[in-house]
Structure 1
Amino acid sequence: MAAECVSEGRDPKEMGEEDLWDLINDNRHRISLDVRPCIVMPYLRQARVLSEVDEDEILSCHNLTNRSMRTSYMLDLLRTQGRNGAVALLDSLMIHYPTLYTQVTGRKPSTEPSRFSGLIKYSELTEYLVRAVTGMQKELQEARSEANRMSERCACLETEIGQIMEQEEKSRCLQTENERMRRQMCALQREITKLKDEKCDFYVRYTAAIEEKSVVNMRLHELTLQVYQLQTELQKVQTENEFQKRCSLRCAPPAETPQLQEEARQDILAKDLAEAIDSQVELAKQLRTYREENELLLRDKQGLVDQKECLSLQVQQLTLDCNMHQQKSTVIQSQMRELQAERDQAYLSRDEAQAMIARLLAEKDTLRCQLVELQERMFSLKATRSPTSGRQSSDETEVCWESPRSSCEEEVPFPTRRRLRRMDAINPMSVSSECEDPGATSVRSRIVEPPSPDSLRRRQGALYKDSSLETAETDSLLDDFVFLPDVQNEDTRASRLSSTNGTSCDGASRTSAPPFLMRSRPKAIRISGRVLTISFQGQMLLSQLQVVGGNKTGVFVHQVTKGSSAHTVGISPGAQIVEVKYEQKHKALRMVLEDSTLEEAMWALGQVQGFCHLSLRPRQDDYEALLQTLQNTDTSSGDSFYVRVNMSLPAGPNGTLAVSCNDILHVTNTQPAGAKDSWHGSHVHPCQLLDLQSGTVPNYYRAQRLLIRAIEEMNFQTKSQKPGRVVAQKEKAVRIVSTGRQGRNPLWVSVENDSSSESGDNAPRCCVTLMPYTLVTPHYPPVCRPILLLPTILGRVLDKKLAGWQGFQLPEPEVLSPSEHAARLQKSEILEECEQENCCYTLQGVEKVMKKGIHCVLPLGLDCVRRLHRADIFPIIIFIGQTARSAQKLRSKLQRQGRSVEQLLVCSRSEEPLLDKLPCLYHSVAPDSWCDQTSLLTNLRTVIWEEQKKIVWVEPDLW
């Protein structure tokens, strides 16, 4: 009933923008206390005066500590939308807070909420809501179906994990059994050791017995000699005795002679008999003793022989048992390795599934952000096309918060309230204590009252003073904006004065400073580190500042000319130049200099001939370290990169380096002193990352002109050559490498056209250009690299011969089912198909051979090189040059393979040009360096041994 007694106020439809906002600001305190942003936010978003980013900022900003502050900040955001924001706010109050609407406007709530707004009709709003709800329901159904699929996938993975756990339990049991068998084998080995020790003792005893027997034999031999000597002496004595008897018989009387002889003979016989009996008895005793000892030694020998046979049988049994245990342990270990590989594959599949889910969610969020940005751009374009208020002057231009202001607007005093510009939320406690005016309120204040013009001017002056310290005092990711001083030259000021007198100011607005609040980088980009974007007049920028550094260290500001625009805005030495933005031929260009060389940075800065935006990152410590390095060493810049030379250049004056095609150079300075359009580089050691002979070489652009000239000369020589004339084969002079990347220099420069996204032309224009140098990166492959022999026909002949040598092996082809073949093909694990059905060479087959520590001989073609490179496998590529004479040496080998000499020559001519397209170097074998197949294989082994020690240089993908 109270609402019916209220007098009818002025119709909001008939009120202007300033009147509407005066009406709202007069009741700002009441609105801030009674209105909840979460209730009116859906309608304001449907009315297209607030975006999803604004809603998140209002409801989740930590600096807005209570509901009144959030409501006040929402009113400030609506103020930037002009009359549409005011009308949408009143409509939302009429829907959700009719009493407050009556108190603010003095009118009764209408039954049709959008009758006054003129934005969206009631029927259109309902239809829009229905479409939105339908779309959300579809998204919800898709999300539920995706969740069901993911849950099924998780259930499958859990089942696989359970199976893997069971297999792991079995593997643990097998490990326990393996440990038990190992302990048993160790016990058996200890017993074998004991038996070996006993056997050694028996051998020692047997050897001692043999030695004793030899000693006894020697003693027996000595005794036999003594007996022989005694018998000889006995015969001598008997002979002397006979002689004496004869003498005595001659001297004795004849009657006594027979008797004396008989007596003497009897005495001699008796004595000899006694002595012989004694000696025989002693010899018999000794002989008996020796026989007993001999029999005892024979028995001991027989026992030792029997023990030896028993021990040999036991050793054989233990050896068999040991081999069996080793085989079992090998089988168990192989099974364990297979289980570990299956487990790793399961983990990898799980990680891939999780990564795919995360990637899908990230892509979905990105698409949502792009949709919001497109909607904002569409709304801003519609708002720009909408007619201005009747109270605004006809020559006044509406300025968006992202576009630069004209110089005319800055000098004109404030006849009316200026439009607010969007900025990030700032801590309310950081407001200056100097703002003592009770009416001076803003976004940063806690008082929910409208800001006065004095407060706005005072806040602009405070931000002007603090702009030079923005990078040092704030965190790099605090906000997306920087506040810059108004730096202009005398011509701009003069143009401003002329504009105040009524003259045109269009020319001055193009060269004026950027707006008070400008965005330093796109919304969706976050540059690491503290980056400050400074906008100033960059006419003759290289005369205002000097730079040092390069692609390895970064490009730094070295000196700043005093009194220049760069010095006025606060640019100081030690800051790294991240990127530069400028306008050229009515196009906004952006060049990223974070990883560029010194030459490219000098070129990019030299292109600036007007107003520019320079993004800087403070890195004083790195800058001082660079200066210290430049002073203490021979290095004169911060450049360092490796290139592959695609042409041959002779040596020249002033230290010009002679290079050949496919040489690797280490470029250390792209702006050497006293050498125009040149680089300073060095040859690189083929096996170590060391610099050899150094000198200057033409830079990229001069080398490109020389390359084009060399190609023209080669073409002219080819045309002028007489037909049928045979020219001797020379060293390769050029290597044709082209790229389709966009940009002036396909190596480093990143030039982007910021206006392309606004115009809708997002398709980059590609240009095919010849490259005299290509960037390469070093790789250090494992001990044994795979071997690829070309031409393919000759490689098939030599592969089996080379694989038959020690240290080389062919990979085994795998037979795959159609489903496995499709899965492997999708993962790029299939290198090449075999002649047999469902049989192919896979990446796992090559890795299996490489794990054995031997060279894998690849029976494949050139197409497998890039697939192997993606798996970090770098094969040794050997091309065997062919002529008609050298091919005749292999006629018999080719005929066995069903090939002919003509086919070999055709294959060689077709595959040789493709070698220049490879992203890595190859080795060429001259056709006159071998005489038969044996010498060719020997030469190949030498080449493989030399190539194995070299560093592998790989080019990036140029398309």
Structure 2
Amino acid sequence: MAGECVPEGPNLKEMGEEELWELINDNRHRISLGVRPCILIPYLRQVKVLTEVDEDEILSCHNLTNRCMRTSYMLDLLRTQGRNGAIALLEGLMIHYPTLYTQVTGRKPSTEPSRFSGLIKYSELTEYLIRAVTGMQTELQEARNEAGKMGARCSFLESEVRQLMAQEEKSRHLQTENERLQRHLSSLQRDVTKLKDEKCDLYIRYTAAIEEKSAINGRLHDLNLQVYQLQTELQSIQMENEFHKQRSLRSVSPSRTPQLQEAHKDILQQDLAEAIDSQVELAEHLKNYREENERLLRDKQGLVDQTEALSLQVQQLSLDCKMHQQKSTVVQSQMKELQVERDQAYQSRDDTQAMIARILAEKDTLRSQLVELQEAVFIFQAKRSPRTQLQRSDVENIGWESPTSSSEESPLPVRRRLRRMDALNPMSLSSCYSESEDAVPTSVRSKGAEPPSPESLRRRQEVLYADSSLETAETDSLLDDFVCLSDGIEEEQKPRPSFSHGSNSVSLSRTSAPPFLVRTRPKAIRIIGRVLSVSLQCEALLSQLTVVGGNKSGVFVHQVTEGSAAHTVGISPGAQIVEVRYEQNSRALKMVLEDSTLEEATWALSQVTGFCHLSLRPRQNDYEALLQQLQNSKTSSGDSFYIRVNISLPADTSGALTVSCNDILHVTNTRPDDTEDLWHASRVHPCQLLDLQSGTVPNYYRAQRLLIQTIEDMSFQTKKGQKVGRVDAQSEQKAVRIVSTGRQGRNPLWVSVEEENTKSTESGPPSPSKSCVTLMPYTLVTPHFPPVCRPILLLPTILGRMLDKKLDSWQGFQLCEPDVLTSSEHAAHIQRSEILEEVEPGGNQCYTLQSVDKVMKKGLHCVLPLGLDCVRRLHRFGIFPIIIFIGLSARNARKLRSKLQRNGQTEEQLLACSKSEEPLLDKLPCLYHSVDPDSWCDQNSLLTSLRTYIWEEQRKIVWMEPDLW
């Protein structure tokens, strides 16, 4: 009925070019909203108003971020075709969008769309429509089958996720119970300590009472002895008086007897009075002594009773102590069981994650096979049509030329050449892989403009020379910068693959110094010892001797060919190769091998031909110790360093290690079984320096080729690959981390190459340094172990400000407060780089390093209401914050709408902030934790998860990269 009411519009055959495009432009907004370019483009290609390059540009250009922009850009391209473009567009609308065609032209759609345009024959259009419908039905059936498989797989994975969540919940309950038991154990330990203190006090009191009792008994014995002496003296005095009395009676004459008797009587009365007085006094003393003795006996009985009570208390305390010890033993056994269960839960979680990663890798492999099969089917169908055969030959004439080396290794189909597109600028990958002589000299170890502190130099010396116990170290001044060997070393070995685009190319030549490991200047710390200089003439130095060792132990001469020039000059096994000097193409070159890996030393010695000078250091004991370790299989080489992986690498061969982006690996051998393109490495435990799964990984050069190939595949993938990628990008983790360096120094583990200025140089100023960017699949990292609670930084910034106050209310967390500084203090803090961020530009309130350090000294997590700029400033002072990026989606943002409105912000601002800050995280020299947007639904669930994430990140090792720019 609606079609019958539509009025007839103007005749399109009678309208001119300007009238047709004026009609289309009047309805441009409606067409942009309702038309999908991928549906109309096949028909527009059929009528030859759009080319294949135009199709790729419309569908693949990164500047066209949505469908409306792509449709509008398609209209602009059709406008350049004039009347034919307008007629073809209207016919395409009549075929695929009849309602929209009626709204635009005012006419009902015709059953013969080409009757007025003459652009395409009716028979060809019918054949095209049949093929399009058949292809769409086939794709629809395949999509339904794939959707059914994915739905079943999704259900299975959801059940596994629910099981894992249940296990996680159980683990969380066990963790809570463990914390409660620990608190109870701590309280019991405090009670036991208190009881022990009371027991010690009772022992002290008991000892004091025994000593006092002994003193009283001694005093009582002295008093009894004094009483006995007094009684003895009294008896002797009485006997003496009696003796004198009888003697006086015998010697007195009768005439004088009455007088003597009277005198004697007086004397006796006086003596009696004195004796009575003395006896009374003695009786008083004796009475006092007896009273004191009775009192001492009563005290003694009280002390005996108190001693018995104390002994009973001691026995009771001993029983209580034994009971607490038994309880403590039971609690500790339960804690060990909980730890075992927790480790089993973690192991099952890791196994599940590994299984999911393996399944995703298998799914990617199947997808790539499916794409190859579809391309084969399309090619087979195209061969059946001579017209398509001719078009394909034209496309091949203007297509991309695949590199020779890469086509030899893996025969991939030829990719079409893109035009008017800047998805990947090959000039950013300039010829730094082959020319590195004129790069700007920069220090590898320095992370800032300030010189290293003495403490930093001491730590470097301990790390670099821990195994050199018999040698002495001293600090040299910083030496001149190095130049690469790329201009002087001849082409050899197998060719390296190149990534070409027109006249510009990026090649990885084995003759040039490797882009990952060449250092711009030698070490600032050198070992001084017995160094022997040997000169010899040889055609190929590496054919006359073999080496063992690595960057950790040093590179030693292992075997010397008898009768060779090296054997004639006296080179013997056990000598460390410190330095090599030789001439090549009239240039005197020097290579320092003190801290090179085995792979690098082998490559460096293979470059030496002709007359050369070797600097050797005798270290027979260290060499024999290394051989003993190799024979006992305690180590596989003398190499040992840690790297961070910047690309996901599946296990392509048996014994290979599957790694993901941002994994930390411990490389222990750079030439396993004399293999040139593999390293032997182990995955590192996140919380301890322990090696877990071991296997082989591609070395730096092969990994760099894989990185470039991955970027190339991401840039030139097909339309279906783009659709699949958009679907899978939400569930899969990041595959590539773009890390580059703009300076000539790449890594301190590679040999340092210097050009000796002994030859006369040509006149004229030196050539200016060239800009160079090097993609790095691996970056060196060093471990750090923060001794205190690490600060917390939540991103994106807008959401972090909302959650900081919630974290401040938790126990063990405190929000960082700004300091009010005067102008002089502000200038001093800026000079020392201690200002992390200003509250307001130009204000006197600033977040300083001291405010963060003050909270950390309390043993609390400092919540940082700051941005990403503060991370590097904190790293400079040895503070490593926990960085948590919270992923957002439109659904999550809607849950936070009310809280955003209270702060005067919108959902669009929150999503834009998240989108702008997420790419900056890969530029940080440390790892961060990313929260999946599907793992939380509201603020409460997010806060619950954050506590677990912070606890896990606090236990982990902090891995730091060197400054690459």
When normalised by structure 2's length, the TM-score is: 0.44
Which one has the largest radius of gyration? Answer: 1
Q: TM-score, normalised by structure 1?
A: 0.44
